[in-house]
Amino acid sequence: MGITSLRVFVRIVVFGLLLGASSTAYADALSITSFSLNNLQFTAATGTAQFTVTGATARADAGNSFGQSVSNIDNTFPLAGAVANVNFASSNASANATTVSMSGSSSANVSGCSCSAGSAAIMFLSGTLVVTGTEGMVNVDISGLRTLMFHAQTDQFGKYAETAITFDILVNGSVVFSVQIDHLISVGPNGLADVQATSPIAGTITLQSGVENTILIRAAPSSLVINEVPEPATIVLLVSGLGFMTGVLKKRRNF
């Protein structure tokens, strides 16, 4: 949980610090991101794959450059839910152990000020997976249905808007399925990224029959906006920061 949530907070803090530089104009920026996972299943090629969910966590974070910050975490089993709201940003998250599903959304919308805002919804399901009724090493198929939506927009003077979705599945602490989607909108005029999609997930892992394996499923849609036009020195700092974070994210991708 620490890696994903830390990544979100680092982004918010970095962008908040950028606002310390003087600016000469501001404009409207909007970012909305959502993600859901349904009907997650583990199916063994031979025998039976028994997946038992033992934990559910939902976390909602929201913050802005005025110093407002909210972080709510819920570990209620079997259904966890959390909501966070501040000026210009909000998020909500839920994780359902009974249906093996999760959903979350984040938004940031700033207007009429030289300011920034960001939010993130973070969901976790954990459990155990055991293959029975067979012997030796067994291939296990992972399947499910994911739905995502993101909308990032700036007006003709808009500075920056970002949507991001991280989703991965870990078996015994190792990532076996991972997706990282980022959409960035820079200085206008009228930047726009708008996508809605539903698609299946599919993957195969090989496990020893009769052995208990740990499973962790996690997802984090996040949104960030900056509503200012910085001076040249601030632009250099922004580009350098984005380059660093992009490099870190690429190292963690494993499609």
Q: In the Cβ-directed half-sphere of 138, how many Cα atoms lie within 13 Å? A: 24
pLDDT of residue 24: 39
pLDDT of residue 4: 47
* 134 in a structural domain: no
Cβ of 200: how many Cβ atoms within 10 Å?
9
* 144 in a structural domain: no
How far does the chain reach from its first CA to its final CA, in angstroms? 20
CA distances from 19 to 15, 106, 113, 185 (A): 7, 22, 11, 18
Amino acid in the structure at residue 111: S
* 166 in a structural domain: yes
* 199 in a structural domain: no
Amino acid in the structure at residue 69: S
* 196 in a structural domain: no
What one-character-per-residue DSSP string does 197-238 give?
A: EEEEEEEEEEEETT--EEEEEEEEEEEEEEE--B-HHHHHHH
Given a contact cutoff of 8 angstroms between Cβ atoms, the answer to whether 92 and 59 are in contact is: no
Which tens digits make up the pLDDT trace of 9-45?
A: 435 443 443 344 333 345 688 999 999 999 999 999 9
pLDDT of residue 13: 40
Which tens digits make up the pLDDT trace of 235-251?
A: 344 444 444 333 433 44
Which tens digits make up the pLDDT trace of 183-225?
A: 877 656 688 889 999 999 999 999 999 999 999 999 999 999 9
For residue 166 the two structure tokens come to 């991280």
pLDDT of residue 127: 98
pLDDT of residue 133: 96
- The parent domain of residue 32 ranges over 2-38+53-128+156-182+214-252
Burial bucket for residue 122 (CB in 10 Å: 0-12, 13-18, 19+): buried
Q: How far apart are CA 230 and CA 38, in angstroms?
A: 42
Domain count along the chain: 1
* 230 in a structural domain: yes
pLDDT of residue 114: 84
* 85 in a structural domain: yes
Whether the full predicted model's pTM is greater than 0.75, yes or no, is yes
Which tens digits make up the pLDDT trace of 148-188?
A: 999 998 887 777 899 999 999 999 999 998 988 888 776 56
Percent pLDDT > 90 in the chain is: 64
* 44 in a structural domain: no
Q: How far apart are CA 130 and CA 55, in angstroms?
A: 16
Percent pLDDT > 70 in the chain is: 77
| Whole-angstrom Cα Rg for the chain | 20
